[in-house]
Structure 1
């Protein structure tokens, strides 16, 4: 009888993978406990590792938050909501509600960090960099659909509307899908008006 083949050793996650796991753990911690609950120990508990490993990868909470924000932007924009609203024929607004629900933890993390900038000045540049990324995503959505570049005021208005709808959904989490859907319909019409205004010849 041939000798049994020894089991293969479990693959150990690489350096980048381990950092990514810790970032995702930090996002979950903040989504569940708020920014005040974020620490090397709470992230370690969530990730199932020692807090020394978290310190090894991220010496400070600011560095961890910075990497989390850099991770969030591309994840959040896998489906650019502005591009979806500009789609012709119209993208189903119900799917935009699903888009919020799929990434609720990411959005809560963002809001917690944004509020924390009021009393933690070192976080402000990180939040501003994130916001500039969202502004760029609005402009790129207009370019993708061969529309005139939106005015800065319209970029701000569109982002504020989407942020408000997302905040409403992740905060109340009640059965308000139809209300949010109707609001996205209204936002689509408002964007169309903004497009018409931005494309109108000046007098």
Structure 2
């Protein structure tokens, strides 16, 4: 018989399933995946550990759900779809990806590294990258990019991915912002070369 869930009202992350996912992300960001246990998540969220089992049923289900939640949150925070369409908001929007919630990015890098050791994580990690690339591709199409937009989006995300990692490693915000602005200028040149005069979008 499934135990009745404990109340999550005392959780510092809020209540319910999303609060536990937030707690799981923070646990992995600070302790690595090996530190992810029901008890660690419950302690971080300030709830009874039976609540974690009630919502997810297994540690692997918790990991998969947390990875999906983290990528959705990152895309929403950074406004990737919208970032590439603005002449003046690109750098600001993408800095949001770094500054709003760095634990989300640390969690995802931990999962990416762990996927090298755990083959069952390979598919979720591939899905993670596809979600980012798809979001950027939508934005680039709105920006007026032509040709193979998915290849361009994947190349752009590779640059962003590297800049995020550098930021987490301690590179100064101003240097990251300057690099992001350089990437933006390259995108503008690419769009204009494709036949869209500066300031004109398709």
The equivalent position to 1:166 in structure 2, one of 164, 167, 171, is 164
The equivalent position to 1:145 in structure 2, one of 125, 143, 146, is 143
Q: What is aligned with 2:107?
A: 109
Q: CA deviation at 1:143?
A: 2.6
Give secondary structure in 1 for the equivalent of 2:145: coil
Tell me, in whole angstroms, the C-alpha distance in 1 between the residues paired with 2:100 and 2:117: 30
Do the aligned partners of residues 19 and 40 (structure 1) sit closer, same or farther apart at CA in structure 2, a change above 3 Å counting? same
Q: CA deviation at 1:84?
A: 2.1
Q: CA deviation at 1:107?
A: 0.7
Q: CA deviation at 1:35?
A: 1.6
**After superposition, where does 1:83-98 map in structure 2 within 5 Å?**
83-88=82-87, 90-91=88-89, 93-94=91-92, 96-98=94-96
Q: CA deviation at 1:187?
A: 0.9
Q: What is aligned with 2:181?
A: 185
The equivalent position to 1:122 in structure 2, one of 120, 145, 163, is 120
TM-score by length of 1: 0.79
Q: What is aligned with 1:68?
A: 66
CA RMSD of aligned residues (A): 2.5
For residues 112-144 of structure 1, the C-alpha deviation after alignment (integer angstroms, 9 at most, x for no partner) is 111110011111111111111111101110233
Do the aligned partners of residues 145 and 85 (structure 1) sit closer, same or farther apart at CA in structure 2, a change above 3 Å counting? closer
Q: Which of 1 and 2 has greater Rg?
A: 1
Tell me, in whole angstroms, the C-alpha distance in 1 between the residues paired with 2:147 and 2:35: 41
Tell me, in whole angstroms, the C-alpha distance in 1 between the residues paired with 2:95 and 2:150: 26
Q: CA deviation at 1:94?
A: 5.0
Q: CA deviation at 1:22?
A: 0.7
Q: Which moved more, 1:115-124 or 1:186-195?
A: 186-195
Tell me, in whole angstroms, the C-alpha distance in 2 between the residues paired with 1:44 and 1:180: 35
TM-score by length of 2: 0.79
Give secondary structure in 1 for the equivalent of 2:169: helix
Q: What is aligned with 1:6?
A: none
Do the aligned partners of residues 149 and 36 (structure 1) sit closer, same or farther apart at CA in structure 2, a change above 3 Å counting? farther
